Amino acid sequence: MAKAKNVFECMACGYESPKWAGKCPNCGAWNQMEEKLVHKETAGRGTFGKPEQKERQRSRKLDRVKQSHTPRTLTQSGEFDRVLGGGIVDGSLILIGGDPGIGKSTILLQTALKLSEKHEVLYVSGEESLEQIKLRADRLIEASDNLNVYSETNLFHIHDEIKNTKPDFLIIDSIQTVFNPDVTSAPGSVAQVRECTQSLMNIAKNGNIATFIVGHVTKEGQIAGPRMLEHMVDTVLYFEGDQHHTYRILRAVKNRFGSTNEMGMFEMKNVGLTEVLNPSEIFLEERSKNVPGSAIVATMEGTRAMLVEVQALVTPTHFHNPRRMATGIDQNRLSLLMAVLEKSEGLLMQQHDAYIKVAGGGKLEEPAVDLSVIISIASSFKGAAVRGDDCFIGEVGLTGEVRRVTKIDQRLIEAAKLGFKRAIIPSSNMKDLNVPEGIEVIGAQTLKDALKTAVK
């Protein structure tokens, strides 16, 4: 037997060092170096059997490569299928991360119950017993007696169960609880997560088994374990939400089989996660009309248009440094837009605090929300309300011009569907525009034009 040696491994990036260090030399993380015992032999990697020897492939001209159709399986959840890019691809490896209690296990158990009606599904839990899984499944809307459940953390036993069950879909909850007995590190360490994910990836690809993996997150909101974990999988999904709201947002930050701009919205109820088919109504259901400091923006989340309320509160202050606080948009972006407003309109806000909030707990990042933010600030500063049936779309440049945005037709259709009578958009978007019935569209070339129309 080869002699074992002790090394120190960074829990953040997997860097190995022969001696301990307070700061990782590779990634710069503090207090992440942990000691582990390393053996030179790698018998554990052969436990799953050697891969079959295949005929060596040769390079081919691109025009001679035949394009094959990638089959997808629908989960019967339109929101989940939208984020995945149209369904589950056979043999794909999907990683789902999110805060504790956000709904990762719930959505996967619901998906497993739906898929088990027509397919063979194996649900492996390292965090719950079989009785606990049964208790949680009984309160969900979906019901199926054909789901295979298995409570195990040993990777070798999981592999034997996969061979015995031969599932079409595999769910691992969670990867931080699974361990390889031949790796001396503790479960959840960088080495264990890397080795277990690599083994599961080989199973998924060789057996054409679509595999879901649940990943814990750190205090910073990143998936725990090596960053390489996100590079190994095909799709990375993040569950977002607020403890004070029942709504959950599922986003794709990486997807080899679809767009990363899509978003799915769910509501957590006693019977599990239910789809929110019209998020605009959720964000606007409690808004107050015809009050200063409120503006509606038509924003895009992937291929979906949503209407969201942006609220502003501008109040005088006696301190020399006025406060600038933003919830739902970047705070630096708020300072920039306020500077543009002061320069363009001459509004002196050096002695005023400014607070911006996106109602409903949403987050807006696209440039098309600039105009609504500025309109809400000017409305609150002047104490003049904008019309309750107005919506604002447009990016604002540093010189005060209102710039073109994408997918203007879809935004206007959504605004007209929800009863808005007037939309202020960039003048450059007016060309060849198909205006929906029931809504008036006004083009604004500069910020002055938009404010003159909206805030009187």
The CA R_g of the chain, rounded to the nearest whole Å, is 27
Mean pLDDT of 260-272: 85
Name, in order, each residue with C-beta under 8 angstroms of 50's C-beta and a sequence gap of 6 or more: none
What is the token pair recorded at 208?
């054409």
What is the token pair recorded at 390?
């107005």
Q: What is the pLDDT of residues 294-349, one digit of tens each?
A: 999 999 887 788 899 999 999 998 888 889 999 999 999 999 999 999 998 888 88
DSSP code at position 4: P
Mean pLDDT of 38-57: 52
Cβ-contact 173, 105 below 8 angstroms: yes
The pairing of beta strand 352-358 with beta strand 395-396: unpaired
The overall pTM is greater than 0.85: no
Question: What's the rounded Cα separation, in Å, for the pair 99 and 240?
Answer: 8
Percent of the chain with pLDDT over 70: 91
Q: Which amino acid is at 153?
A: T
CA neighbor of 148 nearest in space, from 175, 128, 166, 135: 166
In Å, the largest CA–CA distance within the chain is 84
Q: Tell me the three state secondary structure of residue 396.
A: strand
Cβ-contact 158, 178 below 8 angstroms: yes
Cβ-contact 257, 93 below 8 angstroms: no
What is the model's pLDDT at position 226? 60
What is the model's pLDDT at position 243? 65
- Give the Å distances, CA to CA, from 242 to 100, 165, 220, 286, 293: 11, 38, 15, 18, 24
Kind plus residue range of the DSSP H or E element containing 96: strand 93-98
The pairing of beta strand 5-10 with beta strand 16-17: antiparallel
Mean pLDDT score across all residues of the chain: 86
Question: What's the rounded Cα separation, in Å, for the pair 298 and 301?
Answer: 10
What is the model's pLDDT at position 1? 44
What is the model's pLDDT at position 227? 67
Name, in order, each residue with C-beta under 8 angstroms of 262's C-beta and a sequence gap of 6 or more: 82, 83, 85, 251, 252, 301, 302, 303, 304
What is the model's pLDDT at position 48? 46
CA neighbor of 383 nearest in space, from 447, 316, 445: 316
Query: What crossing angle do the helices spanning 370-382 and 331-345 adopt, rounded to 10°?
Result: 60
Question: What's the rounded Cα separation, in Å, for the pair 113 and 109?
Answer: 6
Tokens 């007696």 found at: 145
What is the model's pLDDT at position 49? 43
Tokens 């309160």 found at: 139
Q: Which amino acid is at 253?
A: V
Question: What's the rounded Cα separation, in Å, for the pair 408 and 416?
Answer: 12
Q: Would the pLDDT of 13 be above 90?
A: no
What is the token pair recorded at 122?
């194996």
Question: What's the rounded Cα separation, in Å, for the pair 232 and 369?
Answer: 35
What is the model's pLDDT at position 45? 44
Write the DSSP string, 193-217. Answer: HHHHHHHHHHHHHHHT-EEEEEE-B
- Compute φ and ψ for 266, nearest 5 degrees: -130, 160
What is the model's pLDDT at position 43? 43
Question: What's the rounded Cα separation, in Å, for the pair 44 and 53?
Answer: 20
Q: What is the pLDDT of residues 133-188, one digit of tens each?
A: 998 888 887 767 789 999 999 999 999 999 999 999 999 998 989 999 988 778 88
Q: What is the pLDDT of residues 102-126, one digit of tens each?
A: 889 999 999 999 999 999 999 999 9
Q: Tell me the three state secondary structure of residue 324.
A: strand
Cβ-contact 442, 365 below 8 angstroms: no
Q: Would the pLDDT of 38 be above 70?
A: no
Q: Which residues pair with 441 in a beta bridge?
A: 423
Question: What's the rounded Cα separation, in Å, for the pair 206 and 204?
Answer: 6
Q: Which residues pair with 246 in a beta bridge?
A: none
Q: Quick one: pLDDT band at residue 80, thresholds 50, 70, 90?
A: very high
The pairing of beta strand 324-327 with beta strand 352-358: parallel
